[in-house]
Amino acid sequence: MTPEPSRIRRVRSRLQYADEENPYVRVYYDEVEWPDGRRGRYNRVVEGAGVPGVAVLPLVGGGVGLVQVDRYPVGMRLWEVPRGFGEGEPEADARRELLEETGWSAIELIDLGQIYLNSGLLAGHVRLFAAKVDGGAALAGARDDEAVEVAVLPVDTVRSLLEEGSLPDAVTQAVILQASLRGLLDLKG
């Protein structure tokens, strides 16, 4: 089932929020028209420059690399895969985020597709990648302000964390699922 273009047509778009000091988000108030001619409104949030974000699952030997990140909007410190805003070339963006957050370089980068995080509000999507890395010294070259710690966890531990709800980040769950479906991780244990 391939996604199809929406039948809802944008009639007019009005920028509601943008701030020169905050390039990470713009909010639009859109007037729309449904196929039967009815009109309505939607709010639409565009993150970053409007290009796809990226998320990278580091595959380190027989384990999975995760970063511990302070996520202010939800008030928690979470274990996640490295991720960030895109600048235009998804593979280059994935390699950059991996290096910034972990200090690791990808030996091989595997495209796992894309996801829409909240298709009812957010206009963008995230490209998912798995990266085979050598697993040298973590954070050796990292320069990320949010990453607190980097760890390599056995796949069995990752599965247990998922089962108990201790990896609640949706992007992390999606990239792990996609890697598992492609035979890169064995979550069955």
The SS3 assignment for 78 reads strand
pLDDT value of residue 16: 93
Residues of the chain with CATH 3.90.79.10: 53-181
pLDDT value of residue 78: 95
pLDDT value of residue 144: 53
> What is the side-by-side order of every strand in the sheet holding 22-33?
9-19, 22-33, 39-47
Architecture of domain 53-181: Alpha-Beta Complex (3.90)
Residue 86: C-alpha distances to residues 50, 141, 143 (Å): 8, 20, 17
pLDDT, block means (10 residues), the chain with 189 residues: 90 93 90 96 90 95 93 92 93 95 94 94 94 74 64 96 96 98 90
Instruction: Please give the model's pTM, rounded to 2 decimal places.
Output: 0.89
pLDDT value of residue 150: 92
- 39 touches 32 (CB < 8 A): yes
- Could you tell me the two tokens for 77? 């410190």
pLDDT value of residue 140: 42
53: Cβ contacts below 8 Å, ≥ 6 apart: 47, 83, 84, 85, 86, 93, 124, 125, 126, 127
Q: What is the DSSP letter of 184?
A: S
pLDDT value of residue 145: 62
